[in-house]
Amino acid sequence: MATGTATIANPDAQATRDRPTYSSPAAARDIESYERFLSQHLRGEIDDDRFRIIRLNNGIYSQRQGGEAMMVRVKIPYGALNPEQLDLLGEVAESFSRGWGHITTRQNMQFHYVPLRRTPELLRRFDAVGLTTREACGDTVRNVAACHLAGACPFEVLDVTPWAEATFRHLLRHAYAQRLPRKFKINFSGCSTDCGQAAFNDIGVVATIRHHPDGTVERGFRVLVAGGLGANPHPAQSIEEFTEREALIPTIEAVLRTFDHYGNRENKLRARMKWLVDTLGIDELRRRVLHERKLLVASVTWVEGLPEPVSRAGDDPAGAAEDGLREGDTGFPTRSGWATRNGPPGSGPGGVRVSLGATRAQTPYERWTTSNVVRGVTKGTVSANAWCRLGDITASQFHDLATLQRDLQAEVRVTNRQNLVFRGLAEEDLPRLYDRLLALGMAEPGAELARDVVSCPGADTCNLAVTQSRGLAAAVGEALEQAGLADVGGVRVNISGCTNSCGQHHIADIGFCGAERRAHGRAAPGYQMFLGGHLGATDEAGIVFATKALRLPARAVPEAVVSVVGRFAEERRPAEDFPSWLARNGGAKGIGAELAHLDDFPAPETAPEFYVDFGETGPYVADVGIGECAGG
């Protein structure tokens, strides 16, 4: 053999090793097809309009920066992650993005500034650990979201985890899940507290109970349809009073088919399912869905009996024992911990005592356990929230979290308030978890409480945003910390950079929506303040949307939040929630009137910062582009 040459003993074996491997034939078809279309697009053989649809259906979204800088969204069904996936997310942040990933309000993970030409490689990396970007964007069925404490919640009626898994599997690559009139979102909650945010989605599934005349109790679901946020929020409404467990998957598919058949394909602004209620009326929509379900038995996609994930894993609740259930029972989050709407203040099901919150006299560890730890009742579950600043996780944090999950043999889930929760813990695990999270900068007390300001990506990367919502969220969090109010529970702040409500400002106790303002002949960043939104209401819809309070300069928002949260913390009565406090203080308009002095723009030469958005260095400009896929 000549020097400097090499011989491959078995070329076929070498080719096999070099060939990409996939989790399934369907995943192989997806990724190889996408890679082929990308190559054709880069050669100019497929125009931008056609390739945009292909790109979005594979979870790849253009950024404000233009060019080949992409945002890639990967689905995290019902928020569940394992250590291998966390490690891979860290590698993606390091190798494909700018060192961090971002959690969305629908339990996805997003990576920004990914080069378009590298996206096929990234899709393969995700597939290797059981993750997919398929249908994470576009006019498709998006990620199936669920309460992050499903299977560990002290109040749940059913563990909705296997039901969310079954729905995800059933609809991934489903023929009716691809080219819908508009995007389609499904959320699950294990009880009427609705931590899974079912009440404002295209389909919302809430576990509930039905009492029979013989005294037995049946667990099942209340299926809500045609909800949505955006500039015109709509509450979801029930399809029927009670849906049996065996009928849930057929009901979901029937709703999807009805939307596909009758949704508006001519006007994108009125294409979401919520507009079908306006055009058909809820009674006619119900009739069509139930008729579709009746005939679905003839379809090859018909699911008979319980779906496999439910049969295999079971759906028994982690909450109160069945003999403690009362029709209409529900729980709601208090300042820290839980109370019941139907029980005495300061107690939960089974007489579990509830603390009203941390005090400054407590040690840092005690503050953390008081505000970040949730304990189940029947199964004795222990869960603890890990705080992710602005929903961001760095590459090194991903890797350390993976190691921590392995060491504790815990479950990890993404929350819809952009944090992580460690589940399946023992009490003796908590000190070790706290110490490790403290070293990662993720042990702040009050994750999911006042400190936990939710924000969309805003004008950092989104084409539709008019304000830097992330910068404002950071400023609000810092102001609450400085005022000693970061641990206050029962009040949540959400910020959107435009009217599309990707930051879910309509359902927050205190919400803000970005808007361009004009003052002294100059453009300036501003916000519309909303107050009083909440889920888990006792009415039919299970949701109350926040109402407008007043408009504010962006720079005045932190002071306004501190004022409202401070008053609530000082004036609230025992076990009183924010909506009740708001109602007895004049509602949104009453509080807004008391903050009116903050709606003032000083002259530019006096306070130039009022004319520069958070995180920017130059004068404010509302630069709005063409949106591809608003909302997570």
Q: pLDDT of 477-511, one tens digit each?
A: 999 999 999 888 889 999 999 999 999 999 999 99
Nearest 5°: phi and psi at 92? -65, -45
Question: Does 36 reside within a domain?
Answer: yes
Look up the domain containing 549 and give its range: 454-611
Separation CA 243–CA 158 (nearest Å): 13
Question: Does 342 reside within a domain?
Answer: yes
Question: Does 622 reside within a domain?
Answer: no
Separation CA 629–CA 469 (nearest Å): 18
Neighbour tally for 583: CB within 10 Å: 12
Separation CA 320–CA 376 (nearest Å): 8
Do 461 and 545 share a domain, yes or no? Answer: yes
Nearest to 245 by CA among 223, 226, 261, 229: 223
Do 292 and 309 share a domain, yes or no? Answer: yes
Q: How many CA atoms within 13 Å lie on the side-chain side of 398? A: 24
List Cα–Cα distances, 405 to 18, 45, 88, 196, 397, in angstroms: 32, 46, 14, 23, 12
Question: Does 409 reside within a domain?
Answer: yes
Sign, Cα dihedral of 265, 267, 272, 275: negative
Do 130 and 31 share a domain, yes or no? Answer: yes
Locate 495 and state its tokens.
């910020």
pLDDT of residue 554: 97
Do 459 and 419 share a domain, yes or no? Answer: no
455 neighbors 472 (Cβ within 8 angstroms): yes
390 neighbors 381 (Cβ within 8 angstroms): no
Number of structural domains the chain divides into: 4
Do 404 and 463 share a domain, yes or no? Answer: no
Question: Does 626 reside within a domain?
Answer: no
Q: Which residues of the chain have pLDDT under 70?
A: 1-19, 319-361, 377-378, 537-541, 624-632
Question: Does 630 reside within a domain?
Answer: no
Q: What's the predicted TM-score (pTM) here?
A: 0.90
pLDDT of residue 626: 62
Do 135 and 187 share a domain, yes or no? Answer: no
Q: Tokens 């995943």 correspond to what residue?
A: 27
617 forms beta bridges with: none
Separation CA 407–CA 439 (nearest Å): 16
Separation CA 432–CA 450 (nearest Å): 25
Do 341 and 280 share a domain, yes or no? Answer: no
Separation CA 380–CA 394 (nearest Å): 32
Separation CA 487–CA 353 (nearest Å): 19
203 neighbors 253 (Cβ within 8 angstroms): no
Separation CA 474–CA 453 (nearest Å): 8
Do 287 and 215 share a domain, yes or no? Answer: yes
- The answer for residues whose C-beta is within 8 angstroms of residue 378's C-beta and 6 or more apart is 317, 318, 319, 320, 321
Domain CATH for 29: 3.30.70
Domain CATH for 170: 3.30.413.10
- Of 113, 141, 169, the residue that ends a domain is 141
pLDDT of residue 340: 32
75 forms beta bridges with: 108
Q: Tokens 């009670």 correspond to what residue?
A: 242
- Of 141, 163, 194, the residue that ends a domain is 141
3-class secondary structure, 268: helix
Do 527 and 434 share a domain, yes or no? Answer: no
Cα 136 from chain centroid (whole Å): 13
Question: Does 147 reside within a domain?
Answer: no
Locate 579 and state its tokens.
């909506």
- Report which residue type is found at 471: G
Alpha-helical regions (H) of 58-118: 83-95
Nearest 5°: phi and psi at 290? -65, -35
Separation CA 204–CA 557 (nearest Å): 32
Do 275 and 348 share a domain, yes or no? Answer: no
- Of 114, 141, 168, the residue that ends a domain is 141
pLDDT of residue 540: 58
Neighbour tally for 478: CB within 10 Å: 14
Do 412 and 463 share a domain, yes or no? Answer: no
pLDDT of residue 536: 80
Locate 169 and state its tokens.
């599997």
173, 146, 447, 351 alpha-carbon torsion, rounded to 10°: -160
Locate 88 and state its tokens.
């891979």
- The answer for residues whose C-beta is within 8 angstroms of residue 468's C-beta and 6 or more apart is 458, 459, 460, 497, 525, 554, 613, 614, 615, 616
Question: Does 204 reside within a domain?
Answer: yes
Do 40 and 163 share a domain, yes or no? Answer: no
Show the beta-strand stretches assigned E in 190-312.
203-211, 217-225, 237-238
